[in-house]
């Protein structure tokens, strides 16, 4: 018997765009419709709960980005490496996520002092080989790659993010069950793109176009054989179907005002070695 996947989410009770730390937030300060955001979050939560167990961490006033639980840290086995947010506005989340993980049985392993790291926003496990892909250039420091490799005892492949709109790896790169990859090739520098394409064979790669990329299609939650995302073009939906994934669209435009979508709002808690 296989157990259900497990995720962590955080209700958007205090979600708003209160400051600007990425280009998506620029024109949206004080422009979130709270009730609409709550309804969109509820729909994602419900879709995920149909396939997985979803734990909740209590939201905190004054931390409007806390619903983006992907940024809490990175999980591998029973180890949790907490994030160290680049921007002061999110640093108050660190202790809350760390406490939740400690109380729920994870062993906390800290990165060396002085490194910025934004968790599963920038650190994504490959679903076909023992490999952790790590984005850097905007929020996480490149030096986290060797540090994570040592802490987690897994190969880490660093990827340099080259477009400010795709500032976290999970905004432009999504490893899928079975070893396929959904990605936005234009979000990486040439060397990083070449390394992605050397490691994932062409028939397993699904490159999104600029419109799907801008609709946060790569910010997808892969759960069993389904992919949950904000929106997918007909071409992308057909591409995913061809690889045998069910596509579940769940609109999250209120969260895109903050620069996040489906994947950012979840943290996978069961990541077997």
Contact stretch for ligand ARG (CB under 6 A) within 34-42, 68-76, 141-149, 234-242 = 68-76
Residues 108-127 that bind ligand ARG (CB under 6 A): 121
Tell me the closest approach of the beta carbon of residue 229 to ligand ARG, in angstroms.
13
Confirm or reject binding of residue 65 to ligand ARG (CB under 6 A). yes
187 backbone dihedrals φ, ψ, rounded to 5°:
-85, -5
**Element containing residue 179 per DSSP (H, E):** none
C-beta closer to ligand ARG: residue 65 or 271: 65
Structure tokens at 266: 């979840």
Which residue from 22, 83, 184, 192 is in contact with ligand ARG, where contact means CB under 6 A? 22
Active site (catalytic) residues:
168, 264
Q: CA–CA separation, 61 vs 59, rounded Å?
A: 7
Q: CA–CA separation, 117 vs 119, rounded Å?
A: 6
Residues 190-249 that bind ligand ARG (CB under 6 A): none
Confirm or reject binding of residue 40 to ligand ARG (CB under 6 A). no
Contacts of 54 (CB under 8 A, 6+ apart): 6, 7, 8, 9, 45, 48
Which residue from 168, 193, 237, 268 is in contact with ligand ARG, where contact means CB under 6 A? 168
183 close to 172: Cβ distance less than 8 angstroms: yes
Torsion of CA 81, 84, 86, 92, to 10 degrees: 130
C-beta closer to ligand ARG: residue 170 or 212: 170
Contact stretch for ligand ARG (CB under 6 A) within 21-29, 37-45, 109-117, 128-136 = 21-29
Which residue from 15, 52, 71, 173 is in contact with ligand ARG, where contact means CB under 6 A? 71
Continuous H helices in the chain: 34-49, 88-91, 93-103, 144-152, 190-199, 210-214, 234-242, 253-256
Continuous H helices in 50-189: 88-91, 93-103, 144-152
Q: CA–CA separation, 246 vs 65, rounded Å?
A: 29
Confirm or reject binding of residue 264 to ligand ARG (CB under 6 A). yes
Structure tokens at 145: 């790659």
Confirm or reject binding of residue 170 to ligand ARG (CB under 6 A). yes
C-beta closer to ligand ARG: residue 5 or 259: 259
Which residue from 8, 54, 70, 269 is in contact with ligand ARG, where contact means CB under 6 A? 70
Which residue from 8, 9, 10, 21 is in contact with ligand ARG, where contact means CB under 6 A? 21
Confirm or reject binding of residue 258 to ligand ARG (CB under 6 A). yes
Contacts of 46 (CB under 8 A, 6+ apart): none
Whose CB is nearest to ligand ARG?
121
C-beta closer to ligand ARG: residue 70 or 148: 70
- Strands 267-268, 79-82: pairing is unpaired
| Total of chain residues touching ligand ARG, rule CB under 6 A | 16
Binding region for ligand ARG (CB under 6 A) = 21-22, 25, 65, 68, 70-71, 90, 121, 168, 170-171, 258-260, 264
């Amino acid at each position: 018997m296989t157990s259900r996947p497990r995720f962590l989410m955080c209700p958007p009770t205090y979600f708003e765009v209160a400051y600007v730390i990425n280009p998506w937030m620029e024109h949206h300060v004080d422009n979130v419709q709270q009730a609409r955001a709550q309804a969109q979050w509820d729909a994602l939560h419900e879709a995920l709960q149909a396939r997985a167990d979803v734990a909740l961490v209590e939201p905190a006033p004054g931390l409007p980005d806390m619903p983006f639980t992907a940024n809490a840290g990175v999980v591998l086995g029973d180890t949790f490496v907490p994030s160290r947010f680049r921007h002061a506005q999110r640093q108050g989340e660190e202790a809350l996520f760390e406490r939740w993980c400690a109380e729920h049985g994870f062993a906390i392993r800290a990165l060396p002092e002085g490194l910025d790291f934004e968790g599963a926003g920038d650190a994504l496990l490959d679903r076909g080989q023992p490999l952790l892909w790590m984005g850097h250039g905007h929020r996480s420091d490149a030096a986290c790659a060797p540090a994570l490799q040592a802490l987690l005892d897994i190969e880490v492949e660093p990827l340099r993010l080259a477009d400010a709109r795709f500032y976290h790896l999970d905004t432009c790169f999504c490893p899928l069950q079975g070893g396929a990859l959904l990605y936005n090739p234009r979000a990486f520098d040439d060397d990083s793109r070449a390394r992605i394409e050397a490691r994932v064979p062409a028939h397993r790669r699904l490159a999104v176009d600029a419109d799907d990329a801008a609709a946060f299609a790569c910010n997808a939650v892969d759960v069993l054989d389904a992919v949950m995302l904000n929106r997918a073009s007909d071409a992308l939906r057909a591409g995913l179907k061809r690889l045998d994934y069910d596509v579940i669209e769940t609109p999250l435009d209120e969260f895109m005002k903050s620069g996040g979508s489906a994947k950012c709002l979840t943290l996978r808690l069961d990541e077997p070695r």
